Structure 1
């Protein structure tokens, strides 16, 4: 009987150790939730836009969100020479432009200058002719969705990398925004990476701890939605959506379903009809939009017999420019699953 009691005690102790160990493992998973990220994922594109070069601030000078002019340099506006030594000096250019309604307000850059592109590449521009060619090239491309402001990553961070080709694992320490951008940019299709959580991010003037991809994604989307420098309040939604043809560049509803709409061209008419055209296939539908407490709402409807009926959601405008319109739909599973519809100008 005594031996049995000892065995019971041993079993209880062993069970307690397993329970404690499992609890520790669960707690560790809670505070270090690593989920693999692919280069072509939506989350990966968000990360790159958080850490890319801030290029939109000087658009009044260089007329392009694809690049920024490297400090220091000078410009001439209405015969006044203005030294641009930091971002604070952009205001001097705006003030000069707004000072008088009877001048030409043309901003002339004093060459040579070095341009820094959104992906950290640099190029020396020797003269106005070379600069005009550069602008023509950028203008031939879709308008860039620029850097996501008001959120900064605190470094260093550790990324764990898995190579599916040789089933090897490694890790890399990232020390700044440029290194993070280049890491994602140079990632190949056979590699996935995971962020070693927790990490810290600075949102405006306060610091937040991030414990998993979902929390990081939420913080980024909050920055897009609520940071004033990420919002374009002058966007003409009706004029833009009805004056161009569009394709579905991303549709997510529990899974990536973009391929359902591959090669279809969408045309939205002022009479609120919409056509989806692919070769000889023409699908007809309707659309509607309204402003609700300052939020642009959008609905699109196709017949239920077509695969396009899945687009029939209550969408809300999330991000936009003249080349891309992004909507966000319903959220489920405690905020972990959100529907997305992205339109890109053809």
Structure 2
């Protein structure tokens, strides 16, 4: 009986031990791991997620020019001798306003950071920076045109539940994550052989306001990849390119005429070629370039968006210096700063609501020419002889020299903005023909005949 009892007892203990082992192995162990639900630490999927939750330092690119670091408030910058204490995002707008004012005024800008400062890196770690050289070394991986890895056009919608496993697929922990910093630090703490999985579905928000739900790892990766190009991450140092929209630019251009000061093409200052020039943008895509003397030429205009930047397209047949696809890089009070991809091309438009072009109508030309005598000149102000034209109301034309001696006579007529000189047979015989009035100011007219230009300058007798 004792032997039987011992045998039965041993059998019972062995069975109990096997049951314990069986329970330990069966509860947390998954023999068939679902690859669509489990991720390996430092695998491609988690590296992609890490870029989503990296710290975005682009908000202060106006100061440090780098998107992978953010300077912690408070700190101080000096702009052209003016100290600005930066305590908040609002103070960064003050810095931008100061830089805008200097840029639009075409003044040289010098900005310096007062050190030491504390910066936050993409993994939310913090460093003290003591001078410009140290900051330069830190930001080399993410300066404008550099390699900034964070993906900003998509955000994780929290809370997010994460399960961690050991290499034997035993459940180690269940975590509830509530933000990017916590998620990023969690990912940084994973070991090489750790495994994790999420409690699906996982939700994301796109920069355009849309939401997407991922039910497995493949859908999660797909959602992130699709988000990469859905918005402008604004990681460059052009802090002005998000200050306006295409629609806003359209409305602004149509408010008033715009003077052109200055205009630089291919690093050459062409401003003096267009003194007191104005652009008037009309609905329907028509733009008129004119000056204070009434010269006007028509072209086309339109706006668009390329690489998340607003552009102004202008095309003139007779004023090619204005032509091109101009990037809009700055808006100030009544000012628009433009540049093109061509090196050195810059144009500044200033609002000129008081500008009223002289319309070279037939009536205006007739009334002006009959008012006084007009000296005839070449475009450069010279002429072979000092001569004055007297346009009579009866459409006769008399030509006098500096001694008031009649040296030629004929007639004149007008159709629209074309003045026709006729029957001149002496001094001005070579000027018989049709002349198009290109500009008609109060004291000066400019007329063209093919490649030839003459100027009438008013000379009223006292």
TM-score (norm 2): 0.39
- Residue 218 of structure 1 is matched in structure 2 by 222
Query: Quick check: 1:69–1:116 contact (8 Å CA) kept in 2?
Result: yes
Q: Distance in 1 between matches of 2:92 and 2:206?
A: 24
Q: Residue 194 of structure 2: which of 191, 201, 214 is its match?
A: 191
Q: Distance in 2 between matches of 1:172 and 1:149?
A: 24
Alignment partner of 1:45 is 2:47: yes
- Residue 87 of structure 1 is matched in structure 2 by 89
Q: Distance in 1 between matches of 2:55 and 2:156?
A: 14
Q: Distance in 1 between matches of 2:38 and 2:85?
A: 46
**How far 1:85 sits from its partner (Å)?**
3.2
Judged with a 3 Å threshold, the aligned counterparts in structure 2 of structure 1 residues 36 and 57 are, in CA distance, closer, same or farther, namely same
Unaligned runs of 5+ in 2: 1-33, 239-305, 308-462
**How far 1:58 sits from its partner (Å)?**
1.8
Q: Residue 171 of structure 2: which of 169, 172, 177 is its match?
A: 169
- Residue 78 of structure 2 is matched in structure 1 by 76
Greater Rg over alpha carbons, structure: 2
Q: Distance in 2 between matches of 1:230 and 1:224?
A: 13
The secondary structure found in structure 1 opposite 2:67 is coil
Q: Distance in 2 between matches of 1:163 and 1:174?
A: 20
Q: Residue 160 of structure 2: which of 157, 161, 166 is its match?
A: 157
Query: Quick check: 1:65–1:146 contact (8 Å CA) kept in 2?
Result: no
Q: Distance in 1 between matches of 2:111 and 2:149?
A: 22
Alignment partner of 1:66 is 2:68: yes
Q: Distance in 2 between matches of 1:147 and 1:116?
A: 14
Judged with a 3 Å threshold, the aligned counterparts in structure 2 of structure 1 residues 206 and 85 are, in CA distance, closer, same or farther, namely farther
Q: Distance in 2 between matches of 1:52 and 1:201?
A: 15
Q: Distance in 2 between matches of 1:156 and 1:40?
A: 22
Judged with a 3 Å threshold, the aligned counterparts in structure 2 of structure 1 residues 208 and 167 are, in CA distance, closer, same or farther, namely closer
Q: Distance in 2 between matches of 1:197 and 1:146?
A: 26
Query: Quick check: 2:65–2:237 contact (8 Å CA) kept in 1?
Result: no
Instruction: State the Cα deviation string for residues 141-192 of structure 1 (Å, max 9, x = none).
Output: 994424211322122211122211x542232222221111112222222112
Judged with a 3 Å threshold, the aligned counterparts in structure 2 of structure 1 residues 140 and 199 are, in CA distance, closer, same or farther, namely closer
TM-score (norm 1): 0.50
**How far 1:212 sits from its partner (Å)?**
2.0
Q: Distance in 2 between matches of 1:92 and 1:192?
A: 47
The secondary structure found in structure 2 opposite 1:219 is helix
**How far 1:214 sits from its partner (Å)?**
2.3
**How far 1:197 sits from its partner (Å)?**
0.6
Q: Distance in 1 between matches of 2:70 and 2:111?
A: 14
Unaligned runs of 5+ in 1: 1-31, 235-293, 296-346
The secondary structure found in structure 2 opposite 1:229 is coil
Q: Distance in 2 between matches of 1:114 and 1:179?
A: 20
Query: Quick check: 1:34–1:195 contact (8 Å CA) kept in 2?
Result: no
**How far 1:133 sits from its partner (Å)?**
2.2
- Residue 420 of structure 2 is matched in structure 1 by none
- Residue 137 of structure 2 is matched in structure 1 by 136
- Residue 206 of structure 2 is matched in structure 1 by 203
Bigger proportion of residues as helix:
1
